[in-house]
Amino acid sequence: MKHIFQQGSNPSKPTFLVLHGTGGNEHDLLPIASHIDPEASVLSVRGNVSENGMPRFFKRLSEGVFDMEDLKARTEELNQFIATAAEEHGFDRSNVIAIGYSNGANIAANLLFTYSDALKGAILHHPMVPNRETQLPDLSGVQVFIAAGTNDPICPAEESTDLEGLLQNAGAAVKLHWENYGHQLTMPEVEAAKAWYDQL
């Protein structure tokens, strides 16, 4: 997959798996990753799907309606890519924390819904429940931060609270953070994510 890898200055720090929103690319969220932890390594990936020229991480049938077969295949592809990248770039595969926004947060959530060991943690900005028909793996020890907007037209409030509940039931430790904005990624929620990360 097309990506940027930035070696961190402190090898004990995690590698951030950075995943953009629809129409974005691997450059978009780099400033957020370095704000959260300037010493961490960064693997920022471009989605392999193009929707009228807009990069995404999996296909959708319409707004908020996912192509579940493609989501499954792309999730497996991304998980495999992380392992390949860990060998190529020499980072610790077991110490990866995702930072995703919107479509990128949704595929990160689906990594959590599919594998117990894909991610050590995840910062999910405006995610949805990626799959309501699946049994989650054991996510004990996994740390998740969810940022949601009370006026988000793409993610109604129950998408966030349902996601929180499903992850908690699977054993993950989840912090759900609200801002009174819409679907946009805001600076206050990035600051809240950093405060959460700093106390891990």
Indicate the residue among 32 and 40 with the shorter CB distance to ligand MLT: 32
Residue 103: other Cβ atoms inside 10 A: 28
CB of 197 to ligand MLT, least distance (A): 23
Please say if 198 is a catalytic residue: no
Per rule CB under 6 A, count of chain residues that contact ligand MLT: 9
Contact call for residue 44 and ligand MLT (CB under 6 A): no
149 binds ligand MLT (CB under 6 A): no
By CB under 6 A, is residue 154 in contact with ligand MLT? yes
- Give every CB contact of residue 89 below 8 A, 6+ residues apart in sequence: 5, 7, 41, 43
62 is catalytic: no
Reading the block at residue 97, the tokens are 């924390």
Q: Is 75 in the site for ligand MLT (CB under 6 A)?
A: no
Per the annotation, the verdict on 102 as an active-site residue is: yes
Candidates 102, 125, 160, 177; catalytic one:
102
Tokens of 28: 């978009």
106 counts as binding ligand MLT under rule CB under 6 A = yes
Number of Cβ within 10 Å of residue 125's Cβ equals 29
With binding defined as CB under 6 A, does residue 133 bind ligand MLT?
A: no
**CB closer to ligand MLT, 28 vs 37:** 28
End-to-end Cα separation, the chain, in angstroms? 30
Q: Which of residues 3-22 bind ligand MLT (CB under 6 A)?
A: 21-22
Contact 188, 180 (CB under 8 A): no
Looking at 103, 110, 131, 160, which residue binds ligand MLT (CB under 6 A)?
103
Q: What are the strands, taking DSSP E only, across the chain?
A: 3-6, 15-19, 41-45, 49-51, 54-56, 60-62, 65-66, 96-101, 121-125, 143-149, 173-179
Residue 30 touching ligand MLT (CB under 6 A)? no
**Is 113:145 a contact under the CB 8 Å cutoff?**
no
Tell me which of 13, 35, 59, 60 binds ligand MLT, using CB under 6 A.
Answer: 60
Which of 88-96, 98-106, 116-124, 134-142 is the region at the interface with ligand MLT (rule: CB under 6 A)? 98-106
In a 13 Å sphere around the CA of 82, the CA atoms on its Cβ side amount to 25
Residues acting as catalytic residues: 102, 152, 183
Please report, as ranges, the residues that interact with ligand MLT according to CB under 6 A: 21-22, 60, 63-64, 102-103, 106, 154
